[in-house]
């Protein structure tokens, strides 16, 4: 579903605040799995800790997560998936160019899961590092370099291998490159300690466990669909709380700009719109808090639910005058 910027930049006219609060109809990030526009590496711990049953469950989970995705090498809002396994060391089983259809991927994932290793050690650093390479190699010559990237790691353990191979540092670096990390703690014997370790690696809000009642839904909605919902460079995404990494994302992008010039232009534009002028876009106080101090120009990424044009720009003085 990638939110396309469309050709339209809607300006948002802010009107009086007291009218605005109440119903929130800001556009949610759509979660249309058939349109996911991602490159994903699935990283599976196939050490003894995961065991046969664990691996089967992992495979079933992955198959369900991707069942509705359009896995292909065709261009468009499509998904490519690679597979890495790890224990003591990591193996790249399939790179991003391997799969041309969703069914083949799903059959393959059960094959891969059917082969546990005899490794007793489970070094997540090795798995993450191999996944990073797969994502990097999948982009040679600028191929799909505007597609968001994600790693989903199914881990039975969390062990650091010392400073040179510190998973937290590696995960940090991966996330700084704009790659989302989803972790799933599976059949872990270390319990809470393992989950706490994995949470340090995950993108905020994307650490799950196989005990979650709706694991597939969480990976899809709170993981892949959130990663898939993003703003272009230089735009700030509107979220439920400014500056909070785990905040819920909306399909709305904001930009700082030359407020005076934009405001004048927007005001004129608003005056000329006929069924006009939708003067309000601050549906609630949270949105006011988010936009007001930043003086953002607002770009909606999708047409609003009610079909209306969002209009104008928050301009602190005028907001209170209207």
Ligand X SMILES: *[C@@H]1O[C@H](CO)[C@@H](O)[C@H](O)[C@H]1NC(C)=O
Compute the least distance from the CB of residue 95 to ligand X, in Å.
4
* 67 lies in the binding site for ligand X (CB under 6 A): no
Judged by CB under 6 A, which of 15, 49, 138, 314 binds ligand X?
138
Q: How far apart are CA 232 and CA 147, in angstroms?
A: 11
* 137 lies in the binding site for ligand X (CB under 6 A): yes
Binding range to ligand X, per CB under 6 A, among 21-29, 60-68, 154-162, 281-289: 281-289
Q: How far apart are CA 295 and CA 259, in angstroms?
A: 7
- Answer positive or negative: Cα dihedral of 140, 144, 149, 155: negative
Compute the least distance from the CB of residue 96 to ligand X, in Å.
7
Binding range to ligand X, per CB under 6 A, among 68-76, 109-117, 152-160, 260-268: 68-76
Judged by CB under 6 A, which of 74, 196, 256, 261 binds ligand X?
74
Beta bridge partners of residue 202, listed in sequence order:
none
Q: Which is nearer to ligand X, 96 or 231 (CB)?
A: 96
Q: How far apart are CA 10 and CA 277, in angstroms?
A: 12
* 114 lies in the binding site for ligand X (CB under 6 A): no
* 72 lies in the binding site for ligand X (CB under 6 A): yes
Judged by CB under 6 A, which of 4, 6, 19, 34 binds ligand X?
34
223: number of Cβ within 10 Å: 26
* 247 lies in the binding site for ligand X (CB under 6 A): no
Q: Which is nearer to ligand X, 263 or 290 (CB)?
A: 290
Compute the least distance from the CB of residue 244 to ligand X, in Å.
11
Compute the least distance from the CB of residue 218 to ligand X, in Å.
24
- In the three-class reduction of DSSP (H, G, I as helix; E, B as strand; rest coil), residue 266 is classed as helix
Q: How far apart are CA 58 and CA 89, in angstroms?
A: 19
Judged by CB under 6 A, which of 48, 78, 149, 291 binds ligand X?
78
Among candidate residues 233, 229, 230, 209, the one with its CA nearest the CA of residue 219: 209
Q: How far apart are CA 42 and CA 167, in angstroms?
A: 17
- Contact (CB, 8 A) for 183 and 206: yes
Q: Which two tokens stand for residue 77?
A: 């809002």
Q: Which is nearer to ligand X, 150 or 309 (CB)?
A: 150
Q: How far is CA 106 from CA 77, 82, 180, 223, 240, in A?
A: 19, 12, 22, 19, 35
* 41 lies in the binding site for ligand X (CB under 6 A): no
Binding site for ligand X (CB under 6 A): 34, 70, 72, 74, 76, 78, 95, 97, 137-138, 140, 285-286, 289
């Amino acid at each position: 579903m990638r939110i396309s910027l469309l050709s339209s930049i809607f300006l948002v006219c802010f009107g009086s605040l007291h009218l605005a609060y109440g119903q929130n109809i800001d556009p949610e990030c759509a979660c249309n799995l058939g349109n996911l526009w991602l490159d994903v590496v699935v990283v599976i711990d196939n050490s003894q800790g995961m065991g046969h049953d664990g691996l089967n469950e992992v495979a079933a989970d992955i198959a369900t997560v991707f069942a509705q995705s359009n896995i292909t090498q065709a261009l468009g809002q499509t998904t490519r998936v690679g597979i890495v396994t790890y224990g003591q060391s990591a193996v790249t089983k399939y790179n991003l160019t391997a799969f041309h259809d969703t069914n083949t991927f799903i059959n393959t994932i059960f094959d891969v899961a059917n082969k546990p290793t005899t490794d007793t050690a489970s070094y997540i650093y090795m798995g993450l590092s191999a996944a990073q390479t797969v994502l990097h190699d999948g982009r040679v010559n600028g191929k799909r370099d505007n597609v968001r990237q994600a790693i989903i790691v199914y881990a039975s353990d969390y062990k650091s291998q010392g400073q040179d191979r510190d998973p937290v540092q590696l995960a940090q670096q991966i996330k700084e490159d704009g790659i989302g990390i989803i972790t799933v703690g599976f059949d872990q014997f270390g319990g809470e300690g393992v989950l706490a370790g994995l949470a340090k690696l995950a993108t905020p809000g994307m650490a799950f466990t196989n005990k979650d009642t709706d694991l597939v839904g969480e990976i899809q909605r709170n993981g892949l669909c959130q990663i898939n919902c993003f703003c272009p460079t230089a735009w700030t995404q509107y979220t439920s709380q400014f500056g909070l990494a785990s905040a819920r994302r909306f399909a709305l992008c904001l930009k700082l700009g030359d407020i005076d010039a934009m405001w004048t232009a927007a005001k004129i534009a608003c005056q000329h719109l006929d069924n006009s002028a939708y003067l309000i876009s601050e549906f609630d106080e949270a949105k006011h808090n988010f936009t007001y101090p930043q003086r953002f120009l607002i770009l909606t990424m999708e047409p609003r639910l009610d079909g209306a044009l969002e209009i104008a720009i928050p301009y602190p003085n005028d907001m209170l005058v209207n």
